[in-house]
A and B are shown apart, each in its own frame.
Chain A
Amino acid sequence: MKLPPLEYACPTSLSEAVALLAAGGGEARALAGGQSLMPMLAFRVVAPALLVDLRKLPELREIEISADGVRLGAMVRWRDIEDDERLTAAHPLLKAAVAHVAHYQIRNRGTVGGSIAHADPAAEMPGIAVTCDAEIAATGAAGQRTIRAADFFLSALTTALKHDEIITEIRLPAWPAKRRWGFREFARRRGDFAMAAAALFYDQDAAGKAINAHVGMIGVGDRPCRLPEVEALLNGRTIDEATIERAAEITSATVDAQEDIHASAAYRRSLAGTMVERALRSAAA
């Protein structure tokens, strides 16, 4: 479990980093916190010729909060999000979700951009990005572009990113103060990847009925997804017990779950419903 032979570069500007990735022609990889990449190197499931370390790009480390929403630099660490008290109001769902990521040591290193680029189906950050309609900004040899989260995650560990592109930031739309939200996750041990997690929010009209419902599912299927049937159920309704139970049923009936070494598909479907049910209940409380 030692790394394969490889070169290492630590550029001090984004353009230099992009140039190195472009020159590598698919044989070069960005290195952020290393919490996913280093184990993959140690297992030799990937063997790039060059690692381009992003740690000397301070412009990727910022958390910016404005009327437009929250902008998370790609090199923002889980720990930075945990420590940023402004986020409790600016994006409580993000904060709640990140609290479930990994363990102390890993949170000190792992980054938002790394998690998005890695695209583990059970990771929290991609799920939040999809649920919240986030935009992912990337810079490559061909310049900058913005990718909608909904278009970004293609399947497990596969994204729309090109090999020479570096994620620079994740933009989460503004969070209204009165928004209702819930996050529920179940993992077999504290800090493990989710067996299933539900991330959701809705706003309310004057009559207290739900509008703009967003319901995201993490850890079930090959990528995070929204649950449009559940959202359709919630929109225009009061979130009462009957609606919550119906939402759970629809979730279990619609998610695409597979059996794996930890659980049967039937269990995962049921769990997905329960997570939605519990997240909704806490949102409505």
Chain B
Amino acid sequence: MKNAFIGSAVERREDLRFLRGRGEYVDDLRPDGLLYAVILRSSKAHGRIVSIDTTAALKVRGVHAVITAQDMPGGPPIVPMRLQPLPEFKPFEQPVIADGKVRYVGEPMAVVIADSVAIGEDALEAIEVEIDALPAVADWHVAQSGQSLLFEAQGSNRSLTFYAVRGDADAAFASAPYVRRETLRTGRHYGLTMEPRGVMAQWDAAKGRLTVSGAAKVPFFNRRILAKQIGLPEDSIEMIENDVGGGFGARGEFYPEDFLIPFAARHLNRPVKWIEDRRENLMAMNHAREAEVDVEIACERDGTILALRGHIHTDMGAYMRTNGAVGARNIAQFMAGPYRVPNVKLDVSLWMTNKTPVGTYRGPGRFETDFFRERLIDMVAQDLGIDRVALRRKNLIARTEMPYPIATIAPYEHKDEYDSGDYQETLDRCLAEIHWSEKAKLQGRRIDGRYHGLAVGCFIEGGAAGPKETARLAINEDGSISVYIGSSAVGQGVETVFAQIAADALEIPMDRIRGVFHGSTAYVSDGYGAYHSRSVVMGGSALLDAALNFKAALCEAAAQRLGCAASAIVVTEDKVSAPGGTSLPLSAFAGLSREGAFLNKKHTYSYGAQAVHLAVDAKIGQVEILDYVVVVDAGRIINPMTLRGQVIGSLVQGLGGAFLEHLVYDEQGQLLTGSLADYLLPTASDFPNLRAFTMDRHPSPINPLGAKGAGEGGLIGAGGVIANAVANALQSFNPDLRELPLTPSRVWAMTQPRA
């Protein structure tokens, strides 16, 4: 039997459970004796803690404890960085609870443990806090001035400067016939999950075991951190993954609460649960995207790009969180995107400010840098009088140049290269799908009072972070097969695609795969989780390896029982057979189980193009998307339907970032968008006209599946394409468009005479 589940639009297995209301989220867990945690958060952006008086709060009926830094002998533990854990960042890492100083509005100061959340909130109001306010550092400009320091001992608010380098940019600029320099900005927003975060911890004093539910994304790594912080061996902690309502890179990183709740459970010897509310979520979950660049592009007169050079400033918030540096480095490394840019010299300064710390949000750094780059390219096209599509075509990296070396992040990282692809192909398809040649004539035209604009842009999308992933296959009592995987499910359809991969590898029908178990630390010996679009490439390849080991072991065992050579055994649907016709059901081998692993240091690069046709009501600054097309080539596609869903979903998030979502702070570091009435998420009716197309023409050479990480691409290109289309629509006003998000107020301002 030869299967072809891989590549088919198999319906999502997990959906039935969700649609029937049978999903199980961390807040659904209510063990006997459960207590609830509520967190007192700083209302000041920057200050010294003079006192936290919990006396009155402890007297509130139903309150069991109020935990502060004082309760942690030796001081509160620090949350270490997971990615780019450079020594320079160490002093800027976050303590699990404010210790001496508060550095952002929302920083945990005390944890109340009570019989209910409502009682806990009553007690919060009874805690007396005295903070000596310090001048707030509300953005990177203030940070740079050094007037107020978040970490006095460091002498500067800059945690580090990265460099992205390739070729000799200064030489290229010195002789370039055309140069343009621009300052561009992206606004702070974040990967808001509909289900806020949650942690539930249970301490079994007799066995000395800690069980933590609500783990997601990187449970194995988080277990390592927690074990160290709380002083337990790793195997005394079990991290349990539950269903989640959104991950987006933000959920599942190690946050202060991931220590505080287990600590409280152990402290009180009772199960303790904390469910983040929306107000907390807006100020506690990782923020993202706030960046400003001062960047120059050098070109030949014919539009050939020669070099990129400049300075990038990212607003990191108050601490370096687990993956806080990723966005900053990506802005630099991927500013060239899918284009041939032989010379690059960019520096990125990471500025500490009195705002919520940042972390990765789907397409980290890429959304920002694609806006910067694509906006610049359109400006170049206009300056040089070259067609926008032709300019892109001229500079796209050709298939024959693959693998293509890209800028290296100095001084810390290895060389990286794009793995494979034909970038022109996705551009062609995208232009065809949106009917570019007919629609281009609408550019800038006013029809029924609205200005029409079009734009197209190209993107690449990284994936497949190593170093390793593990997978296991096992035979159940009934002869069905279970798949265990070290990656996590954060809504990508992991249960479906891994069942497809396993069924193909074992050459059995998909319904023989009973379950796909993921994430929790109990399932495999080691796991690396779900980030950097890595699950399919890393976990899927590990699964192929596990399937080889599993089949070999099964044939070996069958051969012994059936009295023939292992090589003669044939595995079919639910049995193994020997040449003579004798056979045994798979259930006869219940318990047989084998692991496999995949090791990898290289990255995959999906790529594509996107185009939009929109109309701007200039008098009110309102933009309507009439048609939006994304084309992505993701190498070998496991499931085109789930991929398409991911692309559309991420595109909506990208449009949120381009138009609506904005975390606004005032000069005192107060968050002004503290609820979903002011932080505007896209809703179901906002962007109805989106289309996504997937292609699988160029498999990745770096893994046995040929797959590439994908699903972030819709978002990555959205800011740049939207900005260019709006600028094109309003070309008769010579608009000043250098900043996202494009609020109605800003769009309108572009149509007004400039002072």
Q: Do chains A and B interact in one complex?
A: yes
- Let me know if A2 and B117 touch, CB within 8 A: yes
- Let me know if B118 and A261 touch, CB within 8 A: no
- Segment at the B interface, from A68-76, A205-213, A232-240, A264-272: A264-272
Which residues of A have CB within 8 Å of B278? Answer: 1
Q: For the complex, is A78 an interface residue (Cβ under 8 Å from B)?
A: no
8 Å CB contact of B678 from A5, A186, A191, A261: A261
Whole-angstrom distance between the Cβ of A45 and the nearest chain B Cβ: 11
Which residues of B have CB within 8 Å of A190? Answer: 683, 685-686
A2 to B619, CA, bound (A): 42
In chain B between 666 and 703, which residues have their CB closer than 8 angstroms to a CB of chain A?
672-673, 675, 677-678, 680, 682-683, 685-686
- Segment at the A interface, from B157-165, B198-206, B424-432, B742-750: B742-750
Q: For the complex, is A195 an interface residue (Cβ under 8 Å from B)?
A: yes
For chain A, what secondary structure do more than half of its interface residues adopt (helix, strand, loop), or is it mixed?
loop
Which residues of B have CB within 8 Å of A186? Answer: 620, 622, 744
- Let me know if B620 and A43 touch, CB within 8 A: no
- Let me know if B122 and A5 touch, CB within 8 A: yes
Closest A residue to B664 by beta carbon equals A261
- Let me know if A261 and B672 touch, CB within 8 A: yes
A39 to B279, CA, bound (A): 11
Question: 1/0 contact trace for A166-186 toward B, CB 8 Å?
Answer: 000000000000000000001
A217 to B686, CA, bound (A): 25
Report the count of interface residues on B (CB-CB < 8 A).
Answer: 32
Closest A residue to B665 by beta carbon equals A261
Question: 1/0 contact trace for A192-210 toward B, CB 8 Å?
Answer: 1101000000000000000
- Let me know if B672 and A44 touch, CB within 8 A: no
A5 to B126, CA, bound (A): 14
8 Å CB contact of B122 from A4, A39, A271: A4
Which residues of B have CB within 8 Å of A263? Answer: 743-745
- Let me know if B748 and A270 touch, CB within 8 A: yes
Whole-angstrom distance between the Cβ of A41 and the nearest chain B Cβ: 11
Q: A3-B118, A188-B660 are in contact. Are A267 and B745 (CB under 8 A)?
A: yes
- Let me know if B620 and A271 touch, CB within 8 A: yes
8 Å CB contact of B121 from A44, A195, A262, A274: A44
Most buried by A among B117, B620, B660, B743: B620
Report the count of interface residues on A (CB-CB < 8 A).
Answer: 25
Closest A residue to B36 by beta carbon equals A2
Question: 1/0 contact trace for B619-654 toward A, CB 8 Å?
Answer: 111100000000000000000000000000000000
Q: A261-B673, A262-B743, A264-B745 are in contact. Are A189 and B680 (CB under 8 A)?
A: yes
A195 to B745, CA, bound (A): 10
Q: For the complex, is B277 an interface residue (Cβ under 8 Å from A)?
A: yes
Which residues of A have CB within 8 Å of B122? Answer: 4-5
A270 to B751, CA, bound (A): 12
A5 to B662, CA, bound (A): 34
Which residues of B have CB within 8 Å of A44? Answer: 121, 125
Instruction: State the B residues within 8 Å of A (CB).
Output: 116-118, 121-122, 125, 277-279, 619-622, 660, 662, 664, 672-673, 675, 677-678, 680, 682-683, 685-686, 743-745, 748-749, 752
Please name 25 pairs of A and B residues whose Cβ atoms are closer than 8 Å in the assembled complex, sorted by A.
A2-B116, A2-B121, A4-B118, A4-B121, A4-B122, A43-B675, A44-B121, A44-B125, A186-B620, A186-B744, A189-B660, A189-B682, A190-B683, A195-B744, A261-B673, A262-B678, A262-B745, A263-B745, A266-B749, A266-B752, A267-B749, A270-B619, A271-B620, A271-B744, A271-B748
Instruction: State the A residues within 8 Å of B (CB).
Output: 1-5, 39, 43-44, 186, 188-193, 195, 261-264, 266-267, 270-271, 274
